[in-house]
Amino acid sequence: MRKLLAPALVAVIVACGGGSDGVTPPPNTPGKVTFTIARSSASQVPIGAESAFVKLSNETVDVVQAVKIPDPGNTSSYTLTVPAGSGYSLEVVAFHELHDGIRVALAGGEVHDLTLHPGDNAVALDVKPWTYTLSGPDTIQSGEPATYTLTVTGGPTDLFTTRVEIHQNLGLASEDQHFDVVGDGATASATFNVPALDTDSTLYFVFSYFVDDARFHTHSTSFAADLPFAPQPPFQRPVKAAPASVVITFDKTRQH
């Protein structure tokens, strides 16, 4: 499984453009969008999230800016200039870059139906890790398939593709094995076929939801949100050894 930096309680708070008086400004009038990223000790976002993509778009505008998330206790400010107008959406995905174009999404946030006016605009956006639920058996019987379903319950999901990669380890000493399943951006199911075992073991697994590179005007070797994200422990379920069997054969030949 992909490994991240150690987590800490930090804050990623984004301020950006957004009017609220309901008046649509003249078309093509420049609107300056200034957003500030602040980091404090009050957030759940892992310290490993050192970068972010900020996307501002509507039906005719699609602007993405890559930014650095500041160290705890600091702030960074960035400015985007777009035509004033309505129907804007702001999306943020915070991530940690491993190596060779491999990115791990750690938190996201979005707000919609913004109206930008000429001059400065301001609105707050919370960026948080995704929340989720897992359903499936509490115990796996080796030699029999076991299916688990993960559903994202909090955080933006429209940035995910239908590709979900499943990472699994049978016992801590085993190598990472992985396979793909098809999800709908929010829900994905995976079936594990654990072979019959002589002794009890444990299955460890993670769902990796892939982020749409094109949505953020980028190209990644891999860009996914690991659920749960390391170094949080992966899901784990006890695996029971296969039951012993005794075969009795009755010989029909009559003995004299």
* 42 vs 76 pLDDT, higher one: 76
Q: Are residues 117 and 142 in the same domain?
A: no
Q: Are residues 121 and 136 in the same domain?
A: no
Average pLDDT over residues 103-125: 86
Q: What is the pLDDT of residue 235?
A: 97
Q: Are residues 79 and 142 in the same domain?
A: no
If one counts the domains in the chain, the total is 2
Flag whether pLDDT at 5 surpasses 60: no
| φ, ψ at 84 (rounded to 5°) | -60, 145
256 in a structural domain: no
Residue 84's pLDDT band (cuts 50, 70, 90):
confident
List the domain range (segments joined by +) for residue 138: 131-240
pLDDT per residue as tens digits for the range 141-182: 999 999 999 999 999 999 999 999 999 999 988 899 999 999
Out of 110, 126, 142, pick the residue that ends a domain. 126
Average pLDDT, the chain: 83
Q: For the ranges 61-70, 111-120, 185-194, 197-206, which has the lowest average pLDDT?
A: 111-120
Residue 118's pLDDT band (cuts 50, 70, 90):
confident
101: left (phi over 0), alpha (psi -120 to 50) or beta: left
223 in a structural domain: yes
Out of 76, 91, 126, pick the residue that ends a domain. 126
Residue with the two structure tokens 């012993």: 244
Q: What is the pLDDT of residue 253?
A: 65
Out of 126, 148, 183, pick the residue that ends a domain. 126
1 in a structural domain: no
Average pLDDT over residues 51-75: 89
Q: What is the pLDDT of residue 225?
A: 97
186 in a structural domain: yes
Q: List the structure tokens of 11.
A: 């804050």
Instruction: For residue 221, give the CATH number of its domain.
Output: 2.20.130.20
Q: For the ranges 71-80, 174-183, 225-234, which has the lowest average pLDDT?
A: 71-80
250 in a structural domain: no
Q: Are residues 86 and 157 in the same domain?
A: no
251 in a structural domain: no
Nearest to 207 by CA among 137, 159, 148: 148
**Range of 6-15, 124-133, 194-203, 239-248 with top mean pLDDT:** 194-203
**Gap between the Cα atoms of 7 and 135, Å rounded:** 26
Flag whether pLDDT at 17 surpasses 50: no
Q: What is the pLDDT of residue 20?
A: 36
151 in a structural domain: yes
Q: Are residues 38 and 109 in the same domain?
A: yes
Q: Are residues 135 and 118 in the same domain?
A: no
Instruction: For residue 96, give the CATH number of its domain.
Output: 2.60.40
Average pLDDT over residues 43-72: 88
Q: For the ranges 42-56, 57-71, 211-225, which has the lowest average pLDDT?
A: 42-56
pLDDT per residue as tens digits for the range 176-217: 999 999 999 999 999 999 999 999 999 999 999 999 999 999
Q: Are residues 19 and 112 in the same domain?
A: yes
Q: Are residues 33 and 117 in the same domain?
A: yes
Q: Are residues 87 and 163 in the same domain?
A: no
Q: Are residues 102 and 35 in the same domain?
A: yes
In DSSP notation, the chain reads ----PPP--B--EEEE--B-S-PPPPTT-EEEEEEEEE--TT--B-TT--EEEEEEE-SS-EEEEEEEPPPTT-EEEEEEEEE-EEEEEEEEEEEEE-STTEEEEEEEEEEEEEEE-SEEE-EEEE-B--EEEEES-SSEETTSEEEEEEEEEES--TTEEEEEEEEEEESTTSPPEEEEEE--SSEEEEEEEPPP-SS-EEEEEEEEEEE-GGGGT---SEEEEEESPTTSPPEEEEEEPPPP--------SPP-
Most distant pair of Cα atoms in the chain: their distance: 109
* 208 vs 117 pLDDT, higher one: 208
Q: Are residues 35 and 116 in the same domain?
A: yes
Contact assessment for residue 155 and residue 131, using Cβ atoms and an 8 Å cutoff: yes
Q: List the structure tokens of 174.
A: 């085993």
pLDDT per residue as tens digits for the range 174-185: 899 999 999 999
245 in a structural domain: no
Q: Are residues 26 and 121 in the same domain?
A: yes
Q: What is the pTM of this model?
A: 0.82
Flag whether pLDDT at 21 surpasses 60: no
